[in-house]
Amino acid sequence: QKEVEQNSGPLSVPEGAIASLNCTYSDRGSQSFFWYRQYSGKSPELIMFIYSNGDKEDGRFTAQLNKASQYVSLLIRDSQPSDSATYLCALPRDSSASKIIFGSGTRLSIRP
Amino acid sequence: GAGVSQSPSNKVTEKGKDVELRCDPISGHTALYWYRQSLGQGLEFLIYFQGNSAPDKSGLPSDRFSAERTGGSVSTLTIQRTQQEDSAVYLCASSKGVTSPLHFGNGTRLTVT
């Protein structure tokens, strides 16, 4: 099992709908979780981070963490064409807090 | 404040030449990473520096690749005897610590002809 797994997509969502992106991880000791957005030809940029079980909301974005099931999700409400990008999940490799590792990313496409 | 700075932004080199890529992290950030990203692909981890600890070099693809970080700040990634398959965007990122988010530079696009 890969340490961080994401569906590569592409995930196509109509404008105005909710986009749901998922990430599963293998290390139960992971404490920090990050979501990055990467536009084509650009560097990844941090959009959300979450440390505790439950939901964290920031504008149209909600991160959901379930440590028991070892998954973290990103919901994007009222999806806009500008949300079309690749979304990367990232977390420290193990509970000893060594380097941060990235999933392979999910490509999201918002169709007008 | 200033973000992560990488130079050059673009580098074209001939096969067999050596190249040096530079990364200037955010001041005070103790962790520094190098990643490689080929067109349409995900982030490939190369090397990780954390404070004064020995770097994690587990991602370096061959002994032609090396990196150093001087004084806990600026880092240089060196690729010797470049090959065409080395062509990619090389991204540097830094963070305050291992549980803190990474901040990326704009990358160096390397093209080996």
**Is A33's Cβ below 8 Å from some Cβ in B?**
no
Q: Tell me B102's DSSP state.
A: P
Question: Chain A residue with minimal CA distance to B90?
Answer: A43
Chain B residues touching residue A103 (CB < 8 angstroms): 42
Q: Mean pLDDT throughout B51-80?
A: 93
**Is B22's Cβ below 8 Å from some Cβ in A?**
no
Q: Mean pLDDT throughout A85-95?
A: 84
Band (B1; pLDDT cuts 50, 70, 90): low
Band (A94; pLDDT cuts 50, 70, 90): low
**Is B96's Cβ below 8 Å from some Cβ in A?**
no
Chain B residues touching residue A90 (CB < 8 angstroms): 101-102
Question: Chain A residue with minimal CA distance to B88?
Answer: A41
pLDDT tens digit sequence for A58-82: 999 999 999 889 999 999 999 999 9
pLDDT tens digit sequence for A21-67: 999 998 877 788 999 999 999 999 999 999 888 999 999 999 999 98
Chain A residues touching residue B102 (CB < 8 angstroms): 34, 44, 46, 90, 100
Residue whose C-alpha is closest to residue A46's, from A89, A80, A7, A84: A89
Residue B13: alpha-carbon gap to chain centroid: 17
pLDDT at residue A32 in the model: 85
Q: Do B99 and A31 touch (CB under 8 A)?
A: yes
SS3 for B99? coil
Query: Which residues, including other chains, have CB under 8 Å from residue A65's CB and lie 6 or more apart?
Result: A33, A50, A52, A53, A54, A55, A56, A72, A73
Q: Do A44 and B104 touch (CB under 8 A)?
A: yes
- The mean pLDDT of chain A is 90
Side-chain half-sphere exposure of B78, counting CA atoms within 13 A: 9
Residue whose C-alpha is closest to residue B78's, from B22, B5, B32, B35: B22
pLDDT at A97 over 60: no
Q: Do B33 and A49 touch (CB under 8 A)?
A: no
Q: Do B56 and A104 touch (CB under 8 A)?
A: no
- In our burial notation (b when 16+ CB lie closer than 10 A, e otherwise), range A30-60 reads bebbbbbbbeeeebbebbbbbeeeeeeeeee
